[in-house]
Amino acid sequence: MSVNSSVYSGKEFALYIAPDETTVGTFNTTAGDYKKLDLDSMAFPNFNPTQEFEMRTGTGRIASQDSMFTTDKGVVREATMTGRLTDDVIAILLPNVLGKAATASEIAIPNNHSPETIADGDTIVAGNAQTLSLYFYSPIADEGIKMSGCVCTSFEISADMGSASGRFTFTATVQTGYMPVKEDLTMTSSTSTTKYYLSDMVEKTITDSTEDWDEIEPLIKTLAFKVNGSAQMLGMQGTNGDPEVIARQVPELEVTYDLGLKYDDSTAPLIEEYRKTDQNIAFYISDDAEDDDEFGSSASGLGIDINQSVITAADFDGGDIAGINLSAKVTAGSTPGDEAFAIRF
């Protein structure tokens, strides 16, 4: 028997994503609905089967093969992906992790935000806020993997002015309680060429509602914005053990951001602000100036508008150019219907 001489590059694989078809948990078979993700590299999902190998009584000193138990019913499968942030990526994954559809390329989250619970068989509506279908392409025949009923549980975008002209990248994690299927599909979509750059976001302000210091217009070296929206697969049904309900963002929708700033007389007060108990920090960044707590009317690219947050870390960076590394957590204000934060893309 000769050795198989076939060799495949990790770059020959691909990942495609679309909303579920018609109902929650139904894999989308319409090739034209899919978007191809621009990934650095791709890994197949972790299937997380339940396995029990514990010794049983009456089996001697070596575990009996007949006593082994393994099943992939009722387990959560997970896939993580990293790549360049495009308009396709953010239009699908951001509404999904937030549990809210965009309006005119903007998602505004109120202080009393509460995503709808997703039930198996619910009708899919436009907006990508329910469940997604993922197709993992393999160059080997019959080794493609279909996953339906997926939800994004973590989504992070980040950019560094010192790398690729400040182009944004993303990292995302998706989970599903539905059984994956091995099957090849023919996809027709190509990767979007619309990227986002930190260098285009020229309007930047950091303000303090307590007015302990003046509004800051910082020089930003790095920016990261992260959303964690957990999912719990509840119940079990059918021969595959599919979930009956998917609970979202329990116990919380956690939104954080990190900034790498130039240290100067305007940003220096942020280190002292970190120690205070009455923090209420607002952060705005876009390609058009803020207008009455809203994105400017000429805003056309990526933008983040955070109305209140608390600094969770503020460290001095003593590099060649002195800087401040700032971390903050977005918080809800006291007025339920007011906006906690908004993102446009």
pLDDT for 264 beyond 80:
yes
Give the mean model confidence (pLDDT) for residues 164-187.
96
Which residues does 224 contact at the CB level (< 8 Å), separation at least 6? 156, 157, 158, 159, 257, 258
Cut 0.95: pTM above it: no
The pLDDT confidence band at residue 68, using thresholds 50, 70 and 90, is confident
Query: Which residues are bridge partners to 259 per DSSP?
Result: 223, 326
- AA identity, residue 167: R
Rounded to the nearest integer, the mean pLDDT of the chain is 94
What does the pLDDT read at residue 211?
A: 74
What whole-number distance in Å separates Cα of residue 20 and Cα of residue 271? 46
Instruction: List pLDDT tens digits, range 222-231.
Output: 999 999 999 9
What does the pLDDT read at residue 307?
A: 95
Dihedral of CA 339/273/225/46: which sign? negative
Rg value, the chain, Cα: 23
What whole-number distance in Å separates Cα of residue 175 and Cα of residue 253? 16
95 vs 189: which has the higher pLDDT:
95
Q: Write out the two tokens for 134.
A: 């993922």
With beta carbons less than 8 A apart as the criterion, state whether 336 and 111 touch.
Answer: yes
What does the pLDDT read at residue 43?
A: 82
The pLDDT confidence band at residue 101, using thresholds 50, 70 and 90, is very high
What whole-number distance in Å separates Cα of residue 256 and Cα of residue 281? 12
What whole-number distance in Å separates Cα of residue 45 and Cα of residue 176? 10
What does the pLDDT read at residue 141?
A: 94
Give the mean model confidence (pLDDT) for residues 126-144.
95
The pLDDT confidence band at residue 116, using thresholds 50, 70 and 90, is confident
**Peptide bond connecting 251 to the previous residue in cis, omega within 30 degrees of 0:** yes
> Secondary structure of 124-178 in the HEC alphabet?
CCCCCCCCEEEEEECCCCCCCEEEEEEEEEEEEEEEECCCHHHECEEEEEEEECC
Which residues does 301 contact at the CB level (< 8 Å), separation at least 6? 196, 200, 201, 286, 287, 345
Give the mean model confidence (pLDDT) for residues 23-36.
96
What does the pLDDT read at residue 301?
A: 92
With beta carbons less than 8 A apart as the criterion, state whether 222 and 199 touch.
Answer: no
Question: pLDDT exceeding 90 applies to what percent of the chain?
Answer: 83
pLDDT for 210 beyond 80:
no
In the 8-state DSSP scheme, what is residue 180? P
What does the pLDDT read at residue 57?
A: 82
What whole-number distance in Å separates Cα of residue 329 and Cα of residue 339? 15
Give the mean model confidence (pLDDT) for residues 252-265.
97
| Triad 55, 59, 64: Cα angle to 5° | 70
Which residues does 217 contact at the CB level (< 8 Å), separation at least 6? 204, 205, 266
What does the pLDDT read at residue 292?
A: 81
Q: Give whole-number Cα distances, 196 to 117, 201, 265, in Å.
A: 31, 9, 30
The pLDDT confidence band at residue 136, using thresholds 50, 70 and 90, is very high
Domain boundaries, the chain: 11-53+67-344
Q: Write out the two tokens for 250.
A: 């329990």
> 3-class DSSP state for residue 259?
strand
pLDDT for 305 beyond 90:
yes
pLDDT for 324 beyond 80:
yes
pLDDT for 54 beyond 90:
no
Strands 323-330 and 245-262: antiparallel
Which residues does 43 contact at the CB level (< 8 Å), separation at least 6? 79, 80
